Amino acid sequence: MKKLVFLLLVSSPVFFSCSNSSRISDSGNAAADTLRYPEETHLKNIRQLTFGGDNAEAYWSYDGKYLVFQRTSLKDGIPCDQIYMGKVPVKRGEAFNYKLISTGTGRTTCPFFTKDGKHIIYASTHLGGKECPPTPDRAKYGNKYIWPLYDSYDIFMADLDGKIVKQLTTSKGYDAEATLSPDGKKMLYTSDKDGDIDLYIMDLESGSEKRVTNMMGYDGGAWFSPDGTKLIWRASRPKTESEITEYKSLLAENLVAPTNMEVWVANADGSNAHQVTTYGQANWAPAFMPDSKRIIFASNHEYKRGFPFNLYTINEDGTNLQKISRDKGFDAFPMFSPDGKRIVFCSNRNNGGTRDTNVFIADWEE
């Protein structure tokens, strides 16, 4: 899911990191909210949880007490994404301590807590090899943004000590980008096992599943709405003959170039699928807000050069677009806490001019 970070980062400095125990930035009230831009009226008491490296896709546990996220830090010997978990600080100045929960081998992505709070699910390539899988040679494709669909990706369930207790997917091909329904019983994920890049819903208890998208193009980064009645995701739809040819050619090489994406929604069974945004460029990382009606997403549509990425809200019918964040680099991966009072997101803010992407939480104010 995180791959679009690199659309921005190719124009930024390099990644660095620090230790795995970081103190949150002291911005305990509006007057001292130094991590917040003045226009960010919905974000209050912003606190930085990680300091250095590439930290992204931070998602709440169902009880709102923990976060799970993926992290790369060359300085700390983490050459490609691994999954970490930490308890959300509740006191000012309290340390955000996090620990490795994936195997530490291969590449991982898209962690998510289970309903019982005792396990996580995530995708990993570790069965295909201990090393980080190779990245595509962008020069071969005209320096376009290219995303590898590693066929060694499968989705696993692990306990909070990192022990894998179950392998959830076994198909040959890309299985990743998994999230769970509000009741914790269904897994929504992306796979190319049927020849295109589509969304599937799996019943975790029985293992039975259903394909819920069937239009040509990439469908991914999907979530259930908080009330469980709808799905939301990002989609890239090749339309012209040349776009379709390129899409199919890349897919044959286990690659995709989803630089033009829009937000889509559907009923929870995949019916009534329809496009919400029509802005062009990259509109992605969408999620329903706590009311299950409005949507929050990341986008670079205001900027022809491809960045910044900022957060926006919009109604499900495509009306009432509002710009929420204002960083000059990258804001993305928003997720509201279960009680709807806080939001976690990932940002380049406060990174000292490096490429560091860090995890932030804030109080949400309507």
Contact 86, 62 (CB under 8 A): no
**Alpha-carbon gap, residue 157 to 148, rounded angstroms:** 23
In degrees to the nearest 10, what's the CA dihedral of 289, 175, 199, 185? -60
Contact 80, 131 (CB under 8 A): no
CB burial class (10 A; 0-12, 13-18, 19+) of residue 259? middle
Residue-wise burial string across 23-33, b where 16 or more C-beta atoms lie within 10 A, e elsewhere: ebbebeeeeeb
DSSP code of residue 88: P
pLDDT at residue 21 tops 60: no
Residue-wise burial string across 352-362, b where 16 or more C-beta atoms lie within 10 A, e elsewhere: eeebbbbbbbb
In terms of Cα–Cα distance, which of 310, 189, 191 is closest to 256?
191
Most distant CA pair in the chain, distance: 56
pLDDT at residue 278 tops 70: yes
| Averaged pLDDT, 12-23 | 34
Query: 92: pLDDT confidence band, cut at 50, 70 and 90?
Result: confident
* Mean pLDDT, the chain, integer: 92
pLDDT tens, position by position, 24-38: 444 444 446 899 999
CB burial class (10 A; 0-12, 13-18, 19+) of residue 58? buried
Structural domains of the chain ordered from first start:
2-364 (2.120.10.30)
**Alpha-carbon gap, residue 183 to 228, rounded angstroms:** 8
pLDDT tens, position by position, 224-275: 999 999 999 999 999 999 999 999 999 999 999 987 999 999 999 999 999 9
Query: 364: pLDDT confidence band, cut at 50, 70 and 90?
Result: very high
| Averaged pLDDT, 206-217 | 97
pLDDT tens, position by position, 329-347: 999 999 999 999 999 999 9
In terms of Cα–Cα distance, which of 77, 176, 76 is closest to 126?
176
